[in-house]
Amino acid sequence: MPPSTTVQPARATVAFPGTTALRTLAALRILLGAVLLWAFMAGLLLVGLALVLGVALRAAAVGGTALMVLMWLSALPIKSNPAVDEHIIYAAAMIAVAAAGAGRSWGLGPQWEQVLRRAPQPLRTVLT
């Protein structure tokens, strides 16, 4: 009679090497990575909405430029010309849109300014 072969079920656990403290740190790293990913994507969404609607263009340009520079830095070393990278071009375009005040003529800028008239002064300064 041939020997019987038994199949062991695969274990569904992830093995973290080391002590409980290392396991806790590894779990926190996974959690923090997920939170930061969601925050980054929410930031991109808010910058995109502000630019499309033409509201809070200065804040959107500053935040969008910071996000673009961070994405540019994450791609280093760049194999092509680093000054003509798409992230640098997008950052310059955001600054140009905000500097030109494009929201006043092509967006909801006039309505946004009416909303900001009722806002406190520090908020008006940031979101103008």
**pLDDT per residue of the chain (128 residues) written in tens, 0 to 9:** 556 566 555 555 555 556 787 788 888 899 999 999 999 999 999 999 999 999 989 999 999 999 999 998 888 887 878 778 888 999 999 999 999 988 888 889 889 889 888 888 888 888 87
**What per-residue confidence (pLDDT) applies to 113?**
87
**Long-range pairs for 87-95 at CB < 8 Å and ≥24 separation?**
90/64, 91/64, 91/65, 94/47, 94/51, 94/60, 94/61, 94/64, 94/65, 94/68, 95/61, 95/65
**What per-residue confidence (pLDDT) applies to 47?**
95
Statement: the pTM of the whole predicted model exceeds 0.85: no
* 69 vs 59: CA distance, rounded Å: 15
